Structure 1
Amino acid sequence: MKSLLELFFTSLGGAVVVYYGVKLLLVTRMLYPKMWFPLPKSFFSSMGEWAVVTGASEGIGREYAFALAEQGMNVVIMSRTKVTLDHVAKEIGNTTGRKVKVLVTDFTMDNVFSDIEEQLKDLNIGVLVNNVGMLPSIVPCRFLENADLDQTITRVINCNVKTMVKMCKTILPGMENRGRGVILNVSSGIASIPFPLYSLYAASKIFVERFSQGLQAEYKETGIIIQQSSSAVEHTHNNGQARMCSDTNGEEITPSDCETVAPFGVSTRMNSYQATNVVTLSPRDFVKSSLQYVRAGDRTYGSICHMFLGWLLQTLPLKIVYADYVLNGLQEFVARKQAQKRAISALSAA
């Protein structure tokens, strides 16, 4: 009996060591993406002639469009502001020599996808970046405190949820027929836990993750990579509310797991262009980093520092995250940043 107990506990201890050893190995792999998940130079261009990027007029979407053009792809850039899109298209064309197609679309609205399907139907699309997204409110607030709540709910769902699904519905069939393609669906680090004051936004990003994971499981045998990436948002201001969508070498390529790219701080309009540092990345640095993880699995934060932030957020007791002083401090911090931004803008205009 004693020998059996010794064998049981020895086996249990060995299993625990193996389990945590494997977890440590997986973390180590994420620290060295170029070693563990190398991409041939022709990886993206081998997927197809064109890339499509939603919310591409600035921030993360703009940098994805630039990066994919630099990889040899022609790009379709989409958002609601034609003047800004035309400027980005000119920059990409002059810098990379690639073709750029502009589609002006307001993704918060209904019934915009028939025209999109018509515009894209004859293109050989190898990469889709579902980046467009919106916050219900610039300053975080409780759900019922959102202005024009019914309209806000519709806009957030249209922009953050419906657009991603409809764009996949439009482009995925061509990828399936060719047996290759990459879909990057942009989520957010705050979707790691139920996040007070961002409840609607965080919930919409959870949809992005679950849909992406399910879609990858359905199509993993076709050679299509479906990965989740945070959203770049352009705000139209109305008493502090964010109302509109934005304007994530011969080597054999094998199918990868579905993945969501879910970053934390990226210096965009969403966070009032916070100064970049080890935690808050520039859009260009984030995109450059996130593309190294395309073959890394079903979910990535897009960078090493954001991976540790995600681990920390999931490790902290929710009582701490949900404490009134933490939530109030977050509201005050964002409100202060917005006030500073308005003051600087007023001085510039004077």
Structure 2
Amino acid sequence: MQTDFYGMPVHPTIVALGNLSACLFFFYICCKAFLVPFYTYVIAPKFHRVNFKAYGKWALVTGCTDGIGKEYARQLAAAGCDIVLVSRSMEKLQATAQEIETEFNVATKIIQVDFTAGDEIYQTIEKEIAGLQIGTLVNNVGISYSYPEYFLDLVEMNKVFEKLLKANIVSVTRMTHMVLPAMVARERGIVINIGSASSIIPSPMLTVYAATKAYVDKFTEGLDMEYYKKNILFQCVMPGFVCSNMSGIRRSSLFAPSAKDFVRSALSLVAVEKRTPGYYPHEFFVHCLNIISKSSYHFGVWMVTKSMQNSRLKCLKKMKRQTGKLGA
């Protein structure tokens, strides 16, 4: 008979139950870490493919001339949708529209607005899209900090807050309110809101940005609860780092994919996951970081804060060099 740590005899049944419990726990960890993600990202998309064009002739994408937004526009065009491109740079809008029309043989419509401006921009957008059957809305436009910074040290604090709120919160709310009524009337539509992994992991020195993206997450969840019976698909995508102008990353890697690879993965999950990082390595990273933070909160926060501080110093040094060159 086996004995415990103190040399006391332990009944074989208890040993067997302990071994069974350990095996079941190990199986649960394996399923959660590997089998469930494999089903979600590999198997399920094959059985839940979305015909985006069937939800409506047009897809509208905000912040669509670079990075993730541009790839959403391109890949929805590849799926056969005509594309409404909404962004602030007319030059980039025209170039993106020409590129999409030429490559995918679909129609485009461009609307030039700055989402950090006033309410009048929504009157412009509403007038421009009147009569268009918007089947898919991608609320992608958003801004972040120029570099990680402490809350009280943000330069031109009031302007930063105002822009973050308008671009990250007001835009997703107003654009959804504008497009959703027609989707509800048709009982068909797709709304994709781009959040951020920063809203579900420790995010010191990106506090206001992360908070605005937490709004996007909760907003999407609430809409899904209210309108899921109307056959409208809602999805909040919360990516980590992606090669784009916003992230400043120029070379793709496993944990910082190209916008093309990221959007391909995220779009495949539209009918699979309502709330997702959109890309398995990002989900794995978020899961691991949250486990560390829950098991040792102070260590997890220290680790993220240290990384942010290093990024801040690099950005400040770069800005100082550039200012010195301009001064010379």
Give the number of the structure whose residues are more often helix, by fraction: 2
Q: Pick the aligned partner of 2:131 from 122, 131, 134.
A: 122
Q: Counterpart in 1 of 2:76?
A: 68
Q: Counterpart in 2 of 1:78?
A: 86
SS in 2 for 1:197: coil
| Alpha-carbon distance in 1 for matches of 2:84, 2:248 | 27
Q: Pick the aligned partner of 2:35 from 11, 28, 42.
A: 28
| Alpha-carbon distance in 1 for matches of 2:56, 2:316 | 42
| Alpha-carbon distance in 2 for matches of 1:67, 1:187 | 19
Q: Counterpart in 2 of 1:101?
A: 109
Q: Counterpart in 2 of 1:233?
A: none
| Alpha-carbon distance in 2 for matches of 1:342, 1:272 | 17
Q: Is the 8 A contact 1:29 1:36 kept in 2?
A: no
Q: Counterpart in 2 of 1:45?
A: 53
How far is the alpha carbon of 1:42 from its aligned partner?
6.5
How far is the alpha carbon of 1:210 from its aligned partner?
0.4
**Residue 326 to residue 213, structure 1, CA distance change in 2 (3 Å):** closer
How far is the alpha carbon of 1:34 from its aligned partner?
4.3
Q: Deviations over 1:216-275 (max 9, x none)?
A: 0100111100100xxxxxxxxxxxxxxxxxxxxxxxxxxxxxxxx111010111221242
Q: Is the 8 A contact 1:129 1:185 kept in 2?
A: yes
How far is the alpha carbon of 1:314 from its aligned partner?
1.2
| Alpha-carbon distance in 2 for matches of 1:141, 1:334 | 7
Q: Counterpart in 2 of 1:166?
A: 174
How far is the alpha carbon of 1:336 from its aligned partner?
2.3
Q: Counterpart in 2 of 1:258?
A: none
Q: Counterpart in 2 of 1:276?
A: 252
Q: Is the 8 A contact 2:49 2:268 kept in 1?
A: no
How far is the alpha carbon of 1:141 from its aligned partner?
0.5
Q: Counterpart in 2 of 1:301?
A: 277
| Alpha-carbon distance in 1 for matches of 2:32, 2:301 | 32
| Alpha-carbon distance in 2 for matches of 1:205, 1:185 | 10
* RMSD after superposition: 2.9
Q: Is the 8 A contact 1:176 1:222 kept in 2?
A: yes
| Alpha-carbon distance in 1 for matches of 2:311, 2:140 | 26
SS in 1 for 2:116: coil
| Alpha-carbon distance in 1 for matches of 2:61, 2:223 | 19
Q: Counterpart in 1 of 2:308?
A: 330
SS in 2 for 1:227: strand
How far is the alpha carbon of 1:26 from its aligned partner?
9.2
Which residues of structure 2 form unaligned runs of 5+? 1-12
Moved beyond 4 Å, runs of 4+: 20-23, 39-42, 337-344
| Alpha-carbon distance in 1 for matches of 2:150, 2:63 | 26
Normalised to the residue count of structure 2, the TM-score between the two structures is: 0.84
| Alpha-carbon distance in 2 for matches of 1:37, 1:335 | 42
**Residue 96 to residue 335, structure 1, CA distance change in 2 (3 Å):** farther
Q: Counterpart in 2 of 1:320?
A: 299
How far is the alpha carbon of 1:21 from its aligned partner?
4.8
How far is the alpha carbon of 1:125 from its aligned partner?
0.6
Q: Which moved more, 1:197-206 or 1:138-147?
A: 138-147
Q: Pick the aligned partner of 2:140 from 115, 131, 140.
A: 131
| Alpha-carbon distance in 1 for matches of 2:242, 2:181 | 32
| Alpha-carbon distance in 2 for matches of 1:319, 1:75 | 46
Q: Deviations over 1:116-171 (max 9, x none)?
A: 11111210010000000011x22101111111111211111111001001011000
| Alpha-carbon distance in 1 for matches of 2:315, 2:250 | 9
Aligned length: 303
Amino acid at match of 2:241: G
Q: Is the 8 A contact 1:194 1:203 kept in 2?
A: no
Amino acid at match of 1:333: S
Q: Is the 8 A contact 1:216 1:225 kept in 2?
A: yes
Q: Counterpart in 1 of 2:8?
A: none
Which residues of structure 1 form unaligned runs of 5+? 1-5, 229-260
Q: Is the 8 A contact 2:140 2:194 kept in 1?
A: yes
Q: Which moved more, 1:84-93 or 1:36-45?
A: 36-45
**Residue 337 to residue 153, structure 1, CA distance change in 2 (3 Å):** closer
Q: Counterpart in 1 of 2:7?
A: none
Q: Deviations over 1:302-339 (max 9, x none)?
A: 1111110110121112312322x752442323542675
Any residues of structure 2 matched to 1:255-270 within 5 Å, and which? 261-270=237-246
SS in 2 for 1:122: coil
| Alpha-carbon distance in 1 for matches of 2:315, 2:155 | 20
| Alpha-carbon distance in 1 for matches of 2:49, 2:315 | 41
Q: Deviations over 1:163-211 (max 9, x none)?
A: 0010110000111111111110001111113421000000000000000
How far is the alpha carbon of 1:297 from its aligned partner?
2.6
